[in-house]
Amino acid sequence: GKHRIVIPCLGHFKEEYEKVSKLYMNNKIRTTKYTLLNFLPRNLFEQFHRVANLYFLFLVVLNWIPLVEAFQKEITMLPLVAVLTIIAVKDGLEDYSKYKMDKQINNLLTKVYSR
């Protein structure tokens, strides 16, 4: 059957540890939703799944058509941009606090049972 090799990460075993540890997944906890690279696109994708945001986006697009223009183009964008910005900042702060908690948990010392 399958078995797992556990090698301590100590001085002269370091090369062997690095070679064997590449074969297995790490056991780090990650509860964050975003990374620095995917924050903006993923956050906007999630925000435009809300019907209210889609409605305001529709009004902005509709107001850019000269025949239908009711207000100045920039004024109709303000509510949408404000809501998107506030929600993005809130989501970013929540995700950052999750990141800090994950980092704290992943750096805890653990006890390993050994016969």
Each residue's pLDDT tens digit, 58-106: 988 888 888 877 777 788 889 899 999 999 999 999 999 999 999 998 8
**pLDDT recorded at residue 93:** 97
Tell me, yes or no, if the pTM score tops 0.75. Answer: no
Residues 6+ apart with CB under 8 A from 43: 34, 87, 88, 91, 92
Q: What gap in Å lies between CA 32 and CA 97, rounded to an integer? A: 9
Q: Is pLDDT at 33 greater than 70 in this prediction?
A: yes
